[in-house]
């Protein structure tokens, strides 16, 4: 059994670094991830473990904020270990890690439904992992963003023994800025005729909740979605959404006409936008460079929808890291369309929706359970 456990810290829960447990049966991957995490001043590795069984046995003693959990491991794999870990620590952030196969994509999306916070697809080989700065950046950013949220929501760490450990610290500048009031825009005078959605971290769970309740919207309008996700994962997500929506959901294809009654999902690694050809709105897919470090990105979809449909567009920005969707939301607002955003309390990460909310672009900032009913009312002509 390969188990490395770091000594515990005596800092306060708010002031201390984000504590990370790495669980992977590859000693090379464990070492590499540990070096990356320890290179960050606000992160620390508290354990590197070989199996899910080790993680379950160590979780209470080590008390991490974030667990990076491999899918394929001996003795107890990631999907089996996940509910055991969450039973011991219900507020635990678990990021599933797996190579990019259909089987692992299925497992990762299932893990989200079982309580995992997010997933990250690993390159196929150790050489590719080592040589991919984009993967390293994504991994560290997910740990940082999700770990920071976990620390804010957790009670003060009872382990802490430093003087003043139980005293709330002043909010950092970013959180103080987030506490500023949000100014809402008036809704356009006419009902929308198309819905465009952007989402990232936490998005699959949010999308499942919404599409299952907007059948009457789909009767009237097409829905186009950009979810930050790699190939294969978007294929599986489309299948999952089709089951809950009870409507056609598919990865969009180049040149296909956009019609009411169908949900179009941006394929992994392709930007999706809309163009008008011969009087019809059709899908355009692109292999251009990443936008906001993402491909697919939300901004191309939103901006192109504003050009094609103008004031008839309703944009929805769901949970996700970063600021993708902000420029596209600005384009929709400038064209006379409307923007809704998911609120902070119900978001896994309030990056993308927070950006558009604080930019004054939204006509509503809503908890997840209120979004679908609001969409139905707006598409049927009600303004409330």
What positions carry a catalytic annotation?
200, 228, 324
Among 151, 6, 166, smallest CA distance to 92 is for 151
Backbone conformation region of residue 269, classed left if phi is above 0, alpha if psi is from -120 to 50, else beta: left
Instruction: Give 164's contacts (C-beta < 8 A, 6+ positions apart).
Output: 12
CA 348 to each of CA 106, 116, 152, 343, 354: distance values in angstroms, whole numbers, following the listed order: 21, 11, 12, 10, 12
d(CA 335, CA 314): 11
Residue 327 CB partners (closer than 8 Å, separation 6+): 299, 302, 303
> 28: which 2 tokens?
């090379």
Report, in angstroms and rounded to the nearest whole number, the Rg of the chain calculated over CA atoms.
Answer: 21
Contact 248, 261 (CB under 8 A): yes
Distance (Å, whole) CA 304 – CA 310: 9
Q: Which residues pair with 224 in a beta bridge?
A: 196, 264
């Amino acid at each position: 059994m390969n188990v490395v456990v770091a000594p515990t810290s005596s800092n306060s829960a708010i002031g201390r670094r984000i504590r990370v447990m790495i669980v992977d049966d590859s000693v090379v991957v464990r070492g590499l991830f540990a070096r990356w995490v320890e290179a960050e001043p606000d992160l620390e590795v508290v354990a590197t473990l070989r199996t899910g069984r080790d993680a379950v046995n160590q979780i209470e003693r080590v008390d991490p904020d974030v667990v990076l959990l491999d899918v394929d491991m001996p003795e107890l794999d990631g999907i089996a270990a996940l509910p055991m870990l969450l039973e011991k620590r219900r507020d635990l952030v678990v990021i599933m890690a797996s190579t990019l196969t259909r089987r692992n994509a299925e497992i990762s999306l299932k893990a989200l439904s079982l309580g995992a916070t997010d997933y990250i697809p690993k390159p196929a080989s150790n050489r590719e992992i080592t040589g991919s700065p984009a993967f390293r950046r994504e991994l560290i950013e997910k740990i940082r963003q999700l770990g920071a949220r976990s620390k804010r929501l957790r009670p003060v760490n009872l382990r802490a023994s430093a003087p003043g450990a139980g005293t709330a610290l002043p909010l950092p500048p970013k959180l103080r800025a987030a506490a500023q009031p949000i100014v809402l825009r008036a809704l356009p005078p006419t009902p929308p005729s198309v819905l465009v959605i952007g989402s990232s971290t936490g998005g699959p769970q949010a999308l499942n909740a919404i599409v299952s309740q907007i059948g009457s919207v789909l009767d009237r309008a097409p829905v186009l979605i950009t979810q930050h996700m790699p190939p294969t994962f978007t294929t599986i997500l489309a299948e999952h959404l089709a089951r809950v929506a009870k409507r056609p959901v598919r990865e969009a294809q180049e040149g296909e006409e956009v019609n009411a009654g169908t949900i179009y999902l941006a394929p992994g690694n392709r930007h999706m936008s809309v163009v008008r050809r011969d009087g019809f709105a059709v899908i355009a897919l692109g292999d251009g460079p990443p936008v906001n470090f993402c491909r697919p990105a939300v901004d191309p979809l939103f901006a192109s929808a504003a050009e094609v449909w103008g004031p008839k567009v309703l944009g929805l920005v769901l949970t996700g890291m970063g600021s993708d969707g902000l420029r596209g939301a600005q384009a929709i607002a400038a064209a006379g369309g409307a923007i809704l955003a998911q609120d902070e309390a119900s978001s896994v990460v309030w990056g993308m929706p927070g950006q558009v909310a604080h930019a004054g672009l939204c006509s509503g900032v809503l908890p997840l359970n209120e979004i679908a009913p609001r969409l139905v009312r707006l598409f049927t002509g009600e303004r409330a």
